[in-house]
Amino acid sequence: MPLLRPALRAESRGWFALSTLKKGDHLYLIDGSGYLFRAYFQAAHQDKKYLVRADGLPTGAVRMYCDMLWKLIEDTKDGDAPTHLAVIFDAGKKTFRNDIYPEYKANRPEPPEDLIPQFPLVRDATRAFGVACVEEPGFEADDLIATYARLGREVGARVTIISSDKDLMQLVEDGKVQLLDTMKNKRIGSAEVMERFGVPPSKVVEVQALAGDSSDNVPGVPGIGVKTAAELINTYGDLESVLKRAGEIKQPKRRETLQLNADKARLSFKLVLLDDHARIREQPGTFAVREPEPSHLIAFLKEMEFAALTRRAASHYGIEDVEALIPPLKGEGGERSEPGGARFKSKVNPPPRSTFGAPTLPLQGRDKITLPNPGGSHASSPVFLAAPGTPSSLSVPRIKRGEWSAERRDHLLTPSGVGASCDRRARHSALGAPLRRLSAAGPRFQPGLTKGPRRQRAPRGGS
């Protein structure tokens, strides 16, 4: 049984299906930041050997995240299965709310030091599972979730938000949008929101504006808590009516604090109200559920040294020889740079040696490509063939995290020195990059190539 049931579609382009979110579809939106932090703190209670890779790279949160994502996908295959699925992340600390109120979330501590290098890795993990990964600078994940939930409602699709975040409860609409707390296996609808806030979902922002939120440094009205705020909203109808009719309130202290802090309440309303018209680059139709690429997923899990997950995925897809999956190339000397500037010694086996001599294609114009990367990891710089006569003035494109060549997926760069081959350590070259055509077997080095001289370094560009 596949990990995800492939979405029905007439055609596809690249990674994403050309489909449209429509009435009757079911859109799942995962609060990625909340999911990651939950994974991090859950992993912290486990044996330390599961928290770092052998080279010292922290991976505990990523491993737990993968386990949670796998479980979610498995649990939703039957019954109320999603037709569209995406994980939504925060792009950074600064958003439009900081322009409104510079102190917004200023009281929050920095993320744990061992979690920071895992931020980009968890995005790679999401893509390895074949799930859309979305973020947008200037907006919080909650705003993007609100926007996609609105788009889902407008076309008649059902929306399930994987989160228990109280800030998302304002989006709940019975029969259209609900929250799902996967840790408690609890669905959150209007009744649960009423129990939490004392008001229906549509009035949650009014209560939050009065009560404030110390975790986000939202000021609110001093002395007004959730219970009192709900009582005021239920009595007067909305925030503006409460503030305009504050003089009618019998309790002197409550009346006075509302009159003195009306501006804080209005400011807080702007901070807690989610923007459901946020700028987005990916349309929800591109989130169509699709089957992960087995070699991509397993190679990623193997590189992260998630032994149990690797075995589970290999068994799931009937792959017996996991070692045959070629890991991604590393930088010079078997090292690579990880997020945050730290360097970690790579344990992944480098690619086999190969000779230079087969017909090649020169790299020119649009043929400047990045290294096809079935494992989903990343080299800090590409490794190039240097053919005799190749102009040394050709520029060398750098590989960004997770980049893939869509134009030349049937080719693979082969490590080599000038007119010969190189040793097992991946070498960088500032020359051009002719390509060796592959067989139909896929993105693998051709077998049976003879070994060439060892440690023959390519000259630097311009020399």
| Res 32 pLDDT > 90 | yes
- Is the pLDDT at 168 greater than 80? The verdict is yes
Q: What is the mean pLDDT of the chain?
A: 74
DSSP characters over 48-72: GGGTB-TTS-B-HHHHHHHHHHHHH
Q: Is the pLDDT of residue 376 over 50?
A: no
Which uninterrupted H or E stretch holds 32?
helix 32-43
Residue that is written with structure tokens 């074949």 in the block: 130
Q: Is the pLDDT of residue 302 over 90?
A: yes
Closest CA to 134 of 9, 284, 274, 265: 284
pLDDT of residue 153: 96
Say if CB 218 and CB 104 are below 8 A apart: yes
Q: What is the rounded average pLDDT of the residues 97-108? A: 95
User: What mean pLDDT is predicted for residues 186-207?
Assistant: 97
Class of domain 12-195+275-287: alpha beta
28 - beta bridge partners?
Answer: 85, 160
Q: Which residues contact 8 (CB under 8 A, 6 or more apart)?
A: none
- At 322 the pLDDT is 79
Q: How far apart are CA 311 and CA 121, in angstroms?
A: 20
Are the C-beta atoms of residues 409 and 443 closer than 8 Å to each other? yes
201-272 maps to which CATH number? 1.10.150.20
Q: Among all chains, which residue has been given the structure tokens 């709310």? A: 97
Q: Where are the domains of the chain?
A: 12-195+275-287, 201-272, 329-463
**218: three-class secondary structure by DSSP:** strand
